[in-house]
Amino acid sequence: MVINGLQKMTLLDFPGKVACTVFLGWCDFRCPFCHNWELVDGSAPEEMSVEKLLSFLERRRGILEGVAITGGEPMLNKDLPELLKRIRDLGYPTKVDTNGNHPGVLETILKEGLADYIAMDVKNSPERYGQTIGLDKFDLAGVRESIGLIMAGAPDYEFRTTAVAQLHDRDSFEGIGHMIEGASRYFIQKFTDRDTVPFGGLTAPEDDRMREYADVIRPFVPSVQLRGVD
């Protein structure tokens, strides 16, 4: 496994913990609003080996409280369960971000107790999912299965959506609400444009629109929070 990036300390990526974030390359989605395109297409250079990462974590015992694994799509890496096991053997809780398209790997991680927190992106309503992830005629079966696995078996979790003005509307969030009905926690995060976003011309919804979307979701999920809204 190649480690393509390491943020040595963050208060944002693992709720309630001082953590580091490990970035893994490659993704099977092509979201036009992605911030980490160099990880999506595998062009990001290797930053360190797994052994160097574990050595870093050894030295940070007592300082860091958790390790977040993100990408790209971490679950494309066949060695992810083994990496999580080795991190947990050092005494660290683990969080994994996922696009939800790999329920088999997710099920293994949950059954073996290798993740303390799962964060899954729910990109849009079923009708607009393919458009939002840059893949026509996308089969949602894996995403739906992952939602069920997380709600039934994750120790702690969140579902989240990055809201983009050109891709989301009220109907989007109505559809998302039906997909994750009964979930414990959901976040809507405001799109932020960066130089690394592959497509220009995308913008964030206004704050009032973000609040409107949160109100649409609340009948389905008891805890709905906004990120990036004042």
pLDDT at residue 11, as a whole number: 96
The single-letter code of the amino acid at 22 is V
**pTM for this model (two decimals):** 0.96
Are residues 151 and 183 in contact, defined by beta-carbon separation less than 8 angstroms? Answer: yes
What residues does each domain of the chain span? 3-227
- Can you list the residues of the chain whose pLDDT is less than 50? none
The top-level CATH class assigned to 3-227 is alpha beta
Mind listing the pLDDT tens digit for each residue in 177-210? 999 999 999 999 999 988 878 788 999 999 999 9
Mind listing the pLDDT tens digit for each residue in 28-41? 999 999 988 899 98
Question: Could you give the CA distance from residue 29 to residue 41 in angstroms, rounded to a whole number?
Answer: 10
Question: Could you give the CA distance from residue 93 to residue 68 in angstroms, rounded to a whole number?
Answer: 9
- 163 forms beta bridges with 190
